[in-house]
Amino acid sequence: MANFWKLVQNENMKIYRRIRAWIMLGFVVFVPVLISAIYIIASGDNDANNWEMMKLETTILYQLITIFTVVKAADSVAGEFSTGTIKLLLIRPWSRSMILLSKFVALLLFALLQMALCFVVTWGLNAALFGISSDSSAVIPSFSPVAGESVWVYIGLLYLYLFIAQVMILSVAFMLSAAFRSGGLAIGLSIFVLLSGSFITGMLSLTEKPWVKYVLFANVDLTSYLSGSTPLPEQNMTLGFSLAVLAGYFIVFNLVSWLVFVRRDVAA
Amino acid sequence: MSLVPAARLQDVTKRIGNRTIIDRVSLEVYPGEVFGFLGPNGSGKTTTIRMMVGLMSLTSGDIAIGGHSVKTHYAEAAAQVGAIVENPEMYKYLTGYENLVHYARMNPSVTRERIDEVIKLVGLEGRIHDKVKKYSLGMRQRLGVAQAVMHRPKLLILDEPTNGLDPAGIRELRDYLRQLAREEGTSVFVSSHLLSEMELMCDRVAILQKGQIIDIRSIRGAETQTSLEQIALFEVDHPQNALGVLEGRGDGRIEDGLLAISATRDQIAETNRRLVEAGIRVYGIRAKTKSLEDQFLEVTGGETIG
C-alpha cells in the first residue's frame, strides 16, 4: 500500500488547479480590505479598535468561507460522478473508504487554509490600519467566560468555534454530495442549513420542549457560549453538551456518506 | 506462462431489482491472450466489465483477477488491472501529464520515467502539457490507454476501445494490443460490438446476449484445422458437368456459377484431382469462410437489443 498522503495530494491538485479556488482565496483577502476601507471612508477617521474590526470582519467572512467550502465539498464526490471520472478513480488499488477519507481530509485542509488566511489578513490589515489597541475590554463581552483573559484567548476560541461550525456544515455538504451525487442539490441544501440556522434556533427557543436542545441548529453556533450566554436561553445547555451533540451529528453524517459511497454501484 | 488465469469469472450474476442483468457468466482469460467480449448493445458487456473492475458489486458468483477475488481482496486484484471503462473520462481542467501523475500516485510501482515512457508509447509527447479539455477524442483515447498500461497490468480491460478512433488509430491500437499480449504476456479483455474489429484483434471471443454467454470460440487457428469441414468454391468452365463428375457426393451445388461443396482440406484436393481428370478446367479454388459477423448473426439470431 502506498501512502495515504498521495491520495490527499491528488485531491489537493483537483482543488487548487482550478481557477475558482484562487478566486475564492482572493475574496477571502478582498472582503476584509473592503470592509475596513468602507469603515474609513464612512467614518472619516481611522481610530477604530483593531480587535473589534477583526472580530466583525471574521464573523462576516466566516459565512463566505463556509459557502466556498460547501461548494468544494459538494463538488468533491458529485463532480466526479457527473464528469464520469469516478470510474477511473475507483479502479485503483485503494479501498473506496480511503478515497472518500482523502477527499474529506483535503476539504478540511481547504477550510483550514481559508480560516488561516482570514486570520492573517484580518489581523494584519487592521493592525496596520488602526494600530494595535491595548483595550481588549471592548472586544470581549463582560459575561464571557474568558473575560479578563488575553484578547488572543478570545480570538483563538472564536476561530476554533467557527471552525467547528464549519466542519459540521462541511459534513452535511459532503454527505449530500455522496448521497445524491448532485452538486447543485448538495450546495443548495447545505447553504440552507448555514443560513437558516439562526432563524430556526430562534423559532426553537420559543418552545420549551426538552428535545429542541438536541437539534443541530441549536448547537452549531458555539460562539454564544463565548459571549456568556447559551444558544437557547430557556434550556439548560452547556458548551460540553453542545460539543457532545455536535460530535454525534458529525459521526452520523460521515457514517451516512461512507455507507452510501462504499456500497453503491457505479452505474451509467 | 503461469497457470493462474489472468481473469476467471465464475457464475457471475447481477440482479437489479428482479431483473437479471447478467446471468451465470463464466469464462477464463489466459495469460497473454487477447479475449474479445462481443455482444449487441444492452447485452451486459459494460456491466460485466464494471463488476470485473469493482465498480459494481456481484449478486452472486465470483471474479478472480490473477487469483485474487475482487470481493475479498480488491486492492490486490485491482493492482493487476488497467482499464478504460466506456469513454476515457479524464479531469479536463488538468493537463494530460497531471492526469497521469494523478493515477501514478495511486500506484506505487509507477515512476516518473515510466510516465514519460508511456507518453512516448502513445505518441502524446507534443501535447502532454496541454489541458485535456483541448484534446480531441482520439487524443483522449491515447491518454486513456496511457493510464491503463502505466503500471504494467497483467490484465488490460478495454470497453469499446475503438470508439472515436480513426482507421489509422484503430490499426495502431490493434497492433499495440497484440504486441502487449505477445511481448509482455499481458492479457487483454476487450469488449466491442464491432465484429470485424474483434476478428482482427482477438484470439478468442465470447458472445454475450441478454446477459448470458451463448458461445465462446477461438478465432485464430480454426482455419488451419484439417479435420474441419468448410465450404470450397470451385471456379470451373462447366459447373453443371462438374456437378455430374462429382455424382455420389450429395452435397455439391451451384452457387453464383461456382461449384460449392462441403469438404475437408484433403477432400478439396481430391475433388480437384477428379475434376481435372474428367477434363473440367479449374480456374480457381477458394474457401468460403464464414466471417465472425455471419457467425454472430447466426448465434444471436440477428437480434439486437438484449
Distance from CA of A71 to the nearest CA of B (A): 17
Contacts A–B by Cβ distance under 8 A: 83
pLDDT tens digit string along B200-218?
A: 888 999 999 999 999 898 8
pLDDT of residue B305: 42
Q: How is chain A split into domains, by residue range?
A: 5-263
- Residues A183, A185, A190, A195, Cα dihedral to 10°: 130
Question: Do residue A94 and residue B85 have CB atoms under 8 angstroms apart?
Answer: no
Pairwise CB contact (< 8 Å): B108 & A2: yes
- A267–B107 C-beta distance less than 8 A: no
Phi, psi of A94 (to 5 degrees): -135, 145
B178 confidence band (pLDDT: 50, 70, 90): confident
Rounded distance between C-alpha atoms, residue A84 and residue A167, angstroms: 27
Strands B253-255 and B230-236, sheet pairing: unpaired
Interface of A with B in 74-93 (CB under 8 A): 83-85, 87-88, 90-93
- A198 pLDDT more than 60: yes
Least confident of B229-233, B234-238, B249-253: B249-253
pLDDT at position B254 is: 82
Would you state the pLDDT for residue A81?
A: 93
pLDDT of residue B182: 86
Determine the distance in angstroms separating the CA of A8 from the nearest CA of chain B, rounded to an integer.
10
**Domains plus CATH for chain B?**
7-220 (3.40.50.300), 223-292 (3.30.70.100)
Cross-chain residue pair A83–B89, CB shorter than 8 Å: yes
Q: Which residues of A touch B141 (CB under 8 A)?
A: none
User: Is the minimum CB–CB distance between A16 and chain B shorter than 8 Å?
Assistant: no
Q: Is B54 close to A90, i.e. CB distance below 8 A?
A: yes
- Given a contact cutoff of 8 angstroms between Cβ atoms, the answer to whether B48 and B12 are in contact is yes
Strand order, beta sheet including B230-236: B253-255, B258-263, B230-236, B282-288
Looking at the complex, does the CB of residue B106 fall below 8 Å from at least one CB of chain A? yes
- Chain A CB within 8 Å of residue B228 CB: no
Contacts (Cβ under 8 Å, ≥6 apart) of A185? A176
Min Cα–Cα distance to chain B from A266, Å: 5
Q: Do B89 and A84 touch (CB under 8 A)?
A: yes
Q: Which residue of A has its CA nearest to B72?
A: A95
The average pLDDT across B272-278 equals: 87
Q: How far apart are CA A245 and CA A168, in angstroms?
A: 11
Q: Is the pLDDT of residue B1 over 50?
A: no
Residues belonging to chain B = 306
How many angstroms away from the CA of A44 is the closest CA of chain B?
46
Measured between CA atoms, the residue of chain B closest to residue A266 is: B55
Question: Residue B172 to residues A43, A221, B115, B178: CA-CA distances in angstroms?
Answer: 73, 61, 20, 10
| pLDDT level of residue B224 (50, 70, 90 thresholds) | very low
Judge: B57–A265 Cβ closer than 8 Å, yes or no. yes
Q: How far is A91 from chain B (nearest CA, A)?
A: 6
Chain B, nearest residue to A19 by Cα: B93
Q: Give per-residue pLDDT as tens, B84-126.
A: 888 888 999 999 999 999 999 999 889 999 999 999 988 899 9
Q: DSSP letters along chain B, please?
A: --SS-SEEEEEEEEEETTEEEEEEEEEEE-TT-EEEEE--TTSSHHHHHHHHTTSS--SEEEEEETTEETTT-HHHHHTTEEEE-SS----TTSBHHHHHHHHHHT-TT--HHHHHHHHHHTT-GGGTTSBGGG--HHHHHHHHHHHHHTT--SEEEEESTTTT--HHHHHHHHHHHHHHHHHS--EEEEEES-HHHHHHH-SEEEEEETTEEEEEEE-TTGGG-TTS-EEEEEEES-HHHHHHHTTT-TT-EEETTEEEEEE-HHHHHHHHHHHHHTTPPEEEEEEEPPPHHHHHHHHHTT----
C-alpha of B51 from chain center: 18
Flag if A6 and B85 touch (Cβ within 8 Å).
no
Give which of A36, A40, A25, A224 is closest to A123, Cα–Cα.
A36
Instruction: Give yes or no for B78 touching A (CB within 8 A).
Output: yes
Report the chain A residue with the minimal C-alpha distance to residue B157. A91
